[in-house]
């Protein structure tokens, strides 16, 4: 049976376009963080600590009303460096609340996406252990704040996992981190001491150099990992050099030796496993060295020199060169020997540190904290999960040629030697490792219908 017709018909046409940064989202991040850090520069940190979460909350509510779940997380994660820096002054749980709002929005709009994440056994174990560890800390110490950053860590990983479906929004979130870190640095320059990241205002110290070092180290590495693809800068080499140079300058001024080490290690991984990225790295290193020479000639450069001299000066004790971190490593065998299986209890860090070092400090390193507070019961699952993430990232590198997940997993593991690394920024870093379970295309495929004119169309049935 056949039919004749002389009319047009609609035929599907597949078109592809490259994903792009969402500039409106970056503007929103700037509106949140730039005025707040300007207030810090004007010695108004308390006002800044109120304005930043308030402005961010308004944008997040707007995106929730618009049911735009991707932009919600892009803005929230992009503002994280400044939000994390100011959280201790006013609304400490702002990070937890905002990321939980995003997960709730996602559950209401697209439960299938959360179901996809739930199928990942490694994610379930990691998030489940973080929640159990936090809750056990609350029960053991009676303090809701005890180890609450483990919640932020789990939520940030989940947010990155969900964003990974849309490479454009993932790149926008990372670009927002770069923008937020630059706003943080510019606001701290007038009030920082020798190390950028630590503000000294009216006799009060705010922040920590690691809060400046970690996000800038991440951005520097993302500028060159996979040719800048994770920031959507693979075809913009000069922009990569600019972004890398600016972030590298803040990284240098932070004086964060742990961040310096992970950056150098990341460069080594890129040069070993990613041949196409070697030349851009050498070019950028040349620019960064020139900028560093000029920077060291300024007043702020003296703090960098002091940190370097402190690290390599053979006349100093190991305790002095490591800011006291070596003391906790030295007593770790004794701590472990006292309770090797169960540990001393979640949240017991300060008390245990006093018993063995006569200081009342939190643990400096992730591995020390887990061994001391949970013993082998917590340390073995941690190392197993990190091993799983490492194997995943290596498999991803072999299959797709992308090295960024491997760099981020290794970065997190190395950071854990000097800091706990378990917070929202650490979640962003390790969250990139979960991209290995996602298909994140560089191009977006859309279907359009075009009208095809035909004087004689034959339909055979």
Q: What is the 3-state secondary structure (H, E, C) of 141-178?
A: HCCCCCCCHHHHHHHHHHHHHHHCCCHHHHHHHHHHHH
Long-range CB contacts for residues 90-93, cutoff 8 Å, separation at least 24 = 90/46, 90/49, 90/50, 90/53, 91/49, 91/50, 91/53, 92/145, 93/148
Whole-number Cα distances in Å, 264 to 34, 270, 378:
30, 10, 30
Structure tokens at 59: 């944008």
pLDDT at 461: 37
CA distance 39 to 34: 9
Closest by alpha carbon to 51, among 24, 73, 80, 83? 83
- Helix (H, G, I), strand (E, B), or coil: what is residue 314? coil
> What Å distances lie between residue 309 and 150, 320, 355, CA to CA?
34, 11, 32
Between CA 126 and CA 144 the distance in angstroms is 20
CA distances 300 to 264, 272, 406, Å, are 22, 34, 33
- Distance, in Å, from the CA atom of 411 to the CA atom of 266, rounded to the nearest integer, reads 7
The confidence score (pLDDT) of residue 313 equals 47
Per-residue pLDDT, 310 = 58
How far out from the chain centre does Cα 381 lie?
22
- Pair 316, 322: CB distance under 8 Å: no
Q: Helix crossing, 424-433 with 376-400: angle to 10°?
A: 50
Using CA atoms, how far apart are residues 155 and 226, in angstroms rounded to an integer? 26
Q: What is the pLDDT of residue 438?
A: 59
Residues 6+ apart with CB under 8 A from 431: 156, 157, 158, 159, 160, 161, 164, 408
Query: In sequence order, what are the residues at sequence separation of 6 or more whose Cβ sits closer than 8 angstroms to the Cβ of residue 310?
Result: 316, 320, 321
Host H or E run for residue 12: strand 9-18
pLDDT < 70 regions, the chain? 1-18, 276-282, 284-285, 287-288, 291-324, 437-461
Predicted local distance difference test score (pLDDT) of residue 200: 86
The per-residue pLDDT for range 22-60, each reduced to its tens digit, is 999 999 999 999 999 999 999 999 999 999 999 999 999
């Amino acid at each position: 049976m056949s039919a004749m017709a002389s009319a047009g018909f609609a035929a599907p046409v597949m078109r592809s376009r490259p994903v792009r940064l969402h500039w409106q989202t970056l503007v929103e991040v700037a509106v949140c963080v730039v005025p707040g850090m300007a207030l810090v520069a004007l010695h108004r940190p308390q006002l800044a600590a109120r304005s930043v979460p308030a402005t961010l909350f308004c944008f997040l509510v707007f995106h929730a009303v618009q049911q735009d779940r991707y932009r919600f997380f892009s803005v929230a994660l992009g503002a994280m460096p400044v939000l994390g820096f100011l959280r201790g002054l006013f609304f400490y749980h702002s990070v937890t609340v905002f990321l939980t709002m995003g997960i709730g929005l996602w559950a209401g709009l697209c439960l299938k996406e959360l179901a996809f994440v739930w199928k990942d056994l490694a994610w379930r174990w990691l998030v489940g252990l973080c929640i159990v560890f936090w809750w056990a800390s609350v029960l053991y110490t009676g303090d809701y704040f005890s180890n609450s950053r483990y919640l932020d860590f789990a939520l940030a990983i989940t947010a990155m996992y969900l964003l990974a479906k849309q490479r454009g929004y993932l790149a926008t979130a990372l670009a927002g981190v770069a923008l937020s870190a630059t706003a943080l640095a510019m606001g701290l320059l007038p009030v920082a001491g020798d190390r950028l990241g630590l503000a000294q205002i009216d006799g009060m110290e705010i922040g920590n150099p690691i809060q400046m070092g970690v996000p800038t180290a991440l951005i520097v590495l993302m500028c060159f990992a996979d040719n800048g693809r994770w920031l959507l800068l693979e075809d913009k080499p000069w922009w990569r050099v600019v972004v890398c140079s600016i972030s590298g300058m803040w990284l240098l001024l932070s004086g964060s030796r742990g961040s310096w080490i992970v950056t150098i290690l990341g460069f080594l991984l890129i040069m070993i496993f990613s041949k196409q990225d070697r030349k851009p790295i050498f070019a950028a290193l040349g620019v960064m060295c020139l900028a560093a020479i000029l920077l060291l000639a300024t007043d702020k450069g003296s703090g960098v020199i002091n940190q370097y001299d402190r690290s390599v000066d053979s006349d100093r004790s190991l305790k002095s060169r490591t800011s006291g971190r070596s003391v906790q490593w030295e007593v770790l065998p004794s701590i472990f020997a006292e309770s090797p299986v169960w540990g001393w209890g979640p949240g017991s860090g300060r008390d245990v540190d006093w018993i063995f070092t006569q200081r009342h400090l939190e643990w400096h390193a992730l591995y020390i904290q887990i061994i001391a507070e949970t013993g082998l019961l917590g340390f073995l699952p941690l190392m197993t999960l990190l091993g799983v993430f490492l194997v995943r990232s290596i498999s991803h590198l072999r299959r797709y040629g992308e090295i960024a997940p491997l760099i981020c997993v290794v970065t997190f593991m190395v950071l854990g030697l000097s800091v706990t690394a378990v917070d929202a920024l650490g979640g962003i870093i390790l969250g990139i490792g979960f991209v290995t379970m996602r298909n994140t295309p560089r191009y977006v495929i859309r279907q359009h219908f075009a009208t095809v004119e035909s004087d004689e169309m034959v339909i055979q049935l």
